[in-house]
Amino acid sequence: MDAPAKPRRTRIQTEKRVRILDAALDVFSQHGFRGATIDQIAEAAGMSKPNLLYYFKSKEDIHTTLIQRLLETWLAPLRELDDIGDPMTELRGYIRRKLEMARDYPRESRLFANEILQGAPRIMPMLEGELKTLVDEKAEIIKGWMRAGRIAPTDPWHLIFSIWATTQHYADFDVQVRAVLGPRRGGDGRFEDAARFLENLFLRGLAPPTAQ
Protein backbone atom coordinates (compact mmCIF):
# COMPACT_ATOMS: atom_id res chain seq x y z
CA MET A 1 0.00 0.00 0.00
CA ASP A 2 1.38 3.40 -0.97
CA ALA A 3 2.20 5.85 1.80
CA PRO A 4 -0.24 8.75 2.01
CA ALA A 5 0.95 11.86 0.22
CA LYS A 6 2.18 14.68 2.40
CA PRO A 7 -0.24 17.60 2.53
CA ARG A 8 0.85 20.54 0.43
CA ARG A 9 1.95 23.64 2.30
CA THR A 10 -0.21 26.72 2.04
CA ARG A 11 1.23 29.97 0.71
CA ILE A 12 1.40 31.37 4.25
CA GLN A 13 3.21 28.29 5.53
CA THR A 14 5.72 28.51 2.71
CA GLU A 15 6.29 32.22 3.35
CA LYS A 16 6.86 31.62 7.06
CA ARG A 17 9.35 28.84 6.38
CA VAL A 18 11.24 31.15 4.04
CA ARG A 19 11.21 33.89 6.70
CA ILE A 20 12.53 31.49 9.34
CA LEU A 21 15.29 30.17 7.09
CA ASP A 22 16.38 33.68 6.10
CA ALA A 23 16.50 34.75 9.75
CA ALA A 24 18.36 31.57 10.71
CA LEU A 25 20.90 32.17 7.98
CA ASP A 26 21.70 35.55 9.56
CA VAL A 27 21.97 34.05 13.04
CA PHE A 28 24.00 30.98 12.08
CA SER A 29 26.38 32.95 9.86
CA GLN A 30 27.10 35.34 12.73
CA HIS A 31 27.19 32.96 15.70
CA GLY A 32 27.81 29.51 14.22
CA PHE A 33 25.72 26.47 15.07
CA ARG A 34 26.82 26.26 18.70
CA GLY A 35 26.34 29.94 19.44
CA ALA A 36 22.95 30.25 17.77
CA THR A 37 19.72 29.65 19.68
CA ILE A 38 16.10 29.07 18.73
CA ASP A 39 15.20 32.23 20.65
CA GLN A 40 17.59 34.29 18.52
CA ILE A 41 16.19 32.84 15.32
CA ALA A 42 12.59 33.41 16.42
CA GLU A 43 13.37 37.03 17.34
CA ALA A 44 15.12 37.63 14.01
CA ALA A 45 12.13 36.10 12.19
CA GLY A 46 9.69 38.26 14.13
CA MET A 47 7.67 35.37 15.55
CA SER A 48 7.24 33.50 18.81
CA LYS A 49 9.35 30.46 19.66
CA PRO A 50 6.29 28.13 19.74
CA ASN A 51 5.23 29.43 16.33
CA LEU A 52 8.69 28.78 14.91
CA LEU A 53 8.74 25.26 16.35
CA TYR A 54 5.51 24.53 14.52
CA TYR A 55 7.47 24.80 11.25
CA PHE A 56 10.82 23.33 12.35
CA LYS A 57 11.12 20.89 15.22
CA SER A 58 14.59 22.01 16.39
CA LYS A 59 17.63 24.16 15.74
CA GLU A 60 19.23 21.11 14.12
CA ASP A 61 16.29 20.78 11.73
CA ILE A 62 16.66 24.40 10.61
CA HIS A 63 20.43 24.09 10.23
CA THR A 64 20.17 20.85 8.23
CA THR A 65 17.65 22.43 5.86
CA LEU A 66 19.92 25.43 5.32
CA ILE A 67 23.00 23.29 4.74
CA GLN A 68 21.20 21.06 2.23
CA ARG A 69 19.99 24.08 0.28
CA LEU A 70 23.43 25.67 0.48
CA LEU A 71 25.23 22.62 -0.87
CA GLU A 72 22.93 22.38 -3.86
CA THR A 73 23.84 25.98 -4.70
CA TRP A 74 27.51 25.64 -3.75
CA LEU A 75 28.20 22.64 -5.97
CA ALA A 76 26.41 23.99 -9.03
CA PRO A 77 29.42 25.95 -10.44
CA LEU A 78 31.70 22.91 -10.24
CA ARG A 79 29.06 20.68 -11.87
CA GLU A 80 29.13 23.03 -14.88
CA LEU A 81 32.84 22.37 -15.57
CA ASP A 82 32.63 20.55 -18.91
CA ASP A 83 35.21 18.32 -20.59
CA ILE A 84 33.85 19.24 -24.03
CA GLY A 85 34.66 22.95 -23.75
CA ASP A 86 37.97 24.76 -24.10
CA PRO A 87 39.92 24.29 -20.83
CA MET A 88 40.77 27.97 -20.38
CA THR A 89 37.19 29.02 -21.07
CA GLU A 90 35.88 26.40 -18.66
CA LEU A 91 38.26 27.39 -15.86
CA ARG A 92 37.68 31.10 -16.43
CA GLY A 93 33.94 30.49 -16.16
CA TYR A 94 34.39 28.50 -12.98
CA ILE A 95 36.47 31.25 -11.34
CA ARG A 96 33.86 33.83 -12.36
CA ARG A 97 30.96 31.74 -11.03
CA LYS A 98 32.72 31.21 -7.69
CA LEU A 99 33.36 34.94 -7.32
CA GLU A 100 29.74 35.69 -8.16
CA MET A 101 28.74 33.36 -5.35
CA ALA A 102 31.13 35.14 -2.98
CA ARG A 103 29.45 38.41 -3.96
CA ASP A 104 25.84 37.19 -3.89
CA TYR A 105 25.88 34.62 -1.05
CA PRO A 106 28.22 35.90 1.71
CA ARG A 107 26.00 34.61 4.54
CA GLU A 108 25.86 31.14 3.02
CA SER A 109 29.65 31.15 2.67
CA ARG A 110 30.10 32.03 6.35
CA LEU A 111 27.58 29.35 7.34
CA PHE A 112 29.60 26.75 5.43
CA ALA A 113 32.91 28.03 6.83
CA ASN A 114 31.57 27.85 10.40
CA GLU A 115 30.49 24.26 9.86
CA ILE A 116 33.91 23.30 8.47
CA LEU A 117 35.77 25.05 11.32
CA GLN A 118 33.77 22.98 13.81
CA GLY A 119 34.96 19.78 12.10
CA ALA A 120 31.95 19.39 9.79
CA PRO A 121 29.99 17.25 12.28
CA ARG A 122 26.71 17.65 10.41
CA ILE A 123 27.95 17.40 6.80
CA MET A 124 30.89 14.99 6.92
CA PRO A 125 28.96 12.23 5.06
CA MET A 126 28.29 14.69 2.24
CA LEU A 127 31.94 15.81 2.13
CA GLU A 128 33.18 12.23 1.99
CA GLY A 129 30.46 11.18 -0.44
CA GLU A 130 28.82 13.57 -2.88
CA LEU A 131 31.50 16.29 -2.74
CA LYS A 132 34.45 13.89 -3.05
CA THR A 133 32.79 12.08 -5.95
CA LEU A 134 32.16 15.36 -7.78
CA VAL A 135 35.70 16.68 -7.21
CA ASP A 136 37.23 13.37 -8.30
CA GLU A 137 35.10 13.48 -11.45
CA LYS A 138 36.25 17.02 -12.32
CA ALA A 139 39.86 16.16 -11.46
CA GLU A 140 39.71 13.45 -14.13
CA ILE A 141 38.55 16.06 -16.65
CA ILE A 142 41.51 18.28 -15.74
CA LYS A 143 43.90 15.32 -16.00
CA GLY A 144 42.47 14.63 -19.46
CA TRP A 145 43.28 18.20 -20.50
CA MET A 146 46.84 17.70 -19.25
CA ARG A 147 47.29 14.42 -21.11
CA ALA A 148 46.11 16.13 -24.29
CA GLY A 149 48.62 18.97 -23.76
CA ARG A 150 45.84 21.52 -23.46
CA ILE A 151 46.97 22.81 -20.06
CA ALA A 152 50.24 22.62 -18.13
CA PRO A 153 50.77 19.71 -15.72
CA THR A 154 49.38 20.38 -12.26
CA ASP A 155 47.65 18.68 -9.35
CA PRO A 156 43.91 18.86 -10.20
CA TRP A 157 42.71 18.53 -6.61
CA HIS A 158 44.96 21.29 -5.30
CA LEU A 159 44.00 23.46 -8.27
CA ILE A 160 40.34 23.15 -7.25
CA PHE A 161 41.21 23.80 -3.59
CA SER A 162 43.14 26.92 -4.60
CA ILE A 163 40.23 28.28 -6.62
CA TRP A 164 37.94 27.65 -3.65
CA ALA A 165 40.31 29.40 -1.25
CA THR A 166 40.99 32.48 -3.36
CA THR A 167 37.40 33.09 -4.45
CA GLN A 168 35.73 32.35 -1.12
CA HIS A 169 38.12 34.78 0.58
CA TYR A 170 36.06 37.60 -0.91
CA ALA A 171 32.99 36.40 1.00
CA ASP A 172 34.46 35.22 4.32
CA PHE A 173 36.92 38.12 4.66
CA ASP A 174 34.93 40.81 2.88
CA VAL A 175 35.26 43.27 5.75
CA GLN A 176 39.04 42.92 5.63
CA VAL A 177 39.14 43.21 1.83
CA ARG A 178 37.10 46.42 1.82
CA ALA A 179 39.10 47.92 4.70
CA VAL A 180 42.44 47.26 3.02
CA LEU A 181 41.32 48.38 -0.43
CA GLY A 182 39.82 51.57 0.98
CA PRO A 183 36.82 53.56 -0.26
CA ARG A 184 38.18 54.09 -3.78
CA ARG A 185 38.79 50.42 -4.59
CA GLY A 186 36.57 48.66 -2.05
CA GLY A 187 33.25 49.16 -3.81
CA ASP A 188 31.36 46.76 -6.07
CA GLY A 189 34.17 46.89 -8.61
CA ARG A 190 36.40 44.87 -6.28
CA PHE A 191 34.84 41.65 -7.58
CA GLU A 192 35.65 42.48 -11.19
CA ASP A 193 39.18 43.44 -10.16
CA ALA A 194 39.47 40.13 -8.31
CA ALA A 195 38.14 38.19 -11.30
CA ARG A 196 40.69 39.71 -13.68
CA PHE A 197 43.54 39.08 -11.23
CA LEU A 198 42.57 35.47 -10.51
CA GLU A 199 42.03 34.69 -14.18
CA ASN A 200 45.52 35.96 -14.92
CA LEU A 201 47.00 34.13 -11.94
CA PHE A 202 45.49 30.74 -12.71
CA LEU A 203 45.23 30.74 -16.48
CA ARG A 204 48.73 32.01 -17.20
CA GLY A 205 50.10 29.39 -14.84
CA LEU A 206 48.07 26.68 -16.57
CA ALA A 207 48.88 27.65 -20.16
CA PRO A 208 50.80 24.88 -21.93
CA PRO A 209 54.47 25.72 -22.66
CA THR A 210 53.83 26.37 -26.37
CA ALA A 211 51.20 28.99 -25.49
CA GLN A 212 53.29 30.93 -22.95
Contact 40, 31 (CB under 8 A): yes
Instruction: Tell me which of 52 and 212 has the higher pLDDT.
Output: 52
CA angle (17, 101, 158) in 5-degree steps: 125
Domains (range + CATH), the chain: 1-57 (1.10.10.60), 67-211 (1.10.357.10)
Residue 137 in this model has a pLDDT that exceeds 80: yes
Most confident of 54-68, 104-118, 154-168: 154-168
- State the sign of the Cα–Cα–Cα–Cα dihedral 101, 105, 106, 108: negative
Q: Supply the pLDDT for residue 121.
A: 86
Contact 56, 62 (CB under 8 A): yes
Averaged pLDDT for residues 98-109: 91
Q: Supply the pLDDT for residue 122.
A: 83
| pLDDT classification of 136: cutoffs 50, 70, 90 | very high
Closest CA to 211 of 154, 155, 141, 152: 152
* Segment 150-173, tens digit of pLDDT: 999 999 999 999 999 999 999 999
Q: Supply the pLDDT for residue 71.
A: 83
Q: Supply the pLDDT for residue 211.
A: 54
Closest CA to 81 of 144, 30, 38: 144
Residue 32 in this model has a pLDDT that exceeds 90: no
Specify the amino acid at residue 97. R
Mean pLDDT of the chain: 90
| pLDDT classification of 100: cutoffs 50, 70, 90 | very high
Averaged pLDDT for residues 140-149: 96
Q: Supply the pLDDT for residue 7.
A: 59
What is the pTM (predicted TM-score) of this model? 0.84
Residue 204 in this model has a pLDDT that exceeds 90: yes
Residue 41 in this model has a pLDDT that exceeds 60: yes
Averaged pLDDT for residues 100-126: 88
Task: Tell me the DSSP string of the chain.
Answer: -PPPPPPPPPHHHHHHHHHHHHHHHHHHHHHHHHH--HHHHHHHHTS-HHHHHHH-SSHHHHHHHHHHHHHHHHHHHHHT--SSS-HHHHHHHHHHHHHHHHHH-HHHHHHHHHHHHTT-TTTHHHIIIIIHHHHHHHHHHHHHHHHTTSS----HHHHHHHHHHHHHHHHHTHHHHHHHHHHHHSSTHHHHHHHHHHHHHHHHHHS-GGG-
